[in-house]
Amino acid sequence: MPTLLGFDFGLRKIGVAVGQTVTGSATALTTLRSRGERPDWAGIEALVREWQPAAAVVGLPFNMDDTEEAWSPRVHRFARQLEGRFRLPVHLVDERLTSIEARRQLAERPGAKHSRGDNHHAVDALAAALILETWLSEQPRTP
């Protein structure tokens, strides 16, 4: 059952999720803080070691007019570094509206109004799960 890690890359923090190809589902894991706009490579390495993914999926930000966001080159760089450091195939997927959907889902959870601070960090990890599920849903199913 191949495992994948999904990433919602941001300049200050990176949401991470884990998923697998058989069910096509993903689970939010954590949000890693960047240091000086540099990814927490030690944190990412620990997750790669723990989950031993077959590949990684990184969300690529697009504008609503189908053009990439101005900071998309940073995402491409992160994806290349991820691939090079961990010898993983890295897939990019349109992440449009995933953070908005993550905020909506978190707001609907019981007790959400009382834990806004916790939800702020949960948004990135849940967005990573949505990114990963988007990619998984686009893959052909093999029995």
pLDDT at 71: 86
Q: Which fold has domain 3-137?
A: Nucleotidyltransferase; domain 5 (3.30.420)
pLDDT at 141: 66
Q: What's the CA gap between 113 and 132, in Å, rounded? A: 27
What pTM was estimated for this model as a whole?
0.85
Q: What's the CA gap between 132 and 129, in Å, rounded? A: 5
Dig out the tokens for 28 from the structure: 């939010």
State the 10-residue block means of pLDDT for the chain, 143 residues long. 92 93 90 90 97 96 85 94 97 81 71 52 85 88 59
Which helix (H) or strand (E) segment is 15 a member of? strand 13-20
Q: What's the CA gap between 128 and 137, in Å, rounded? A: 14
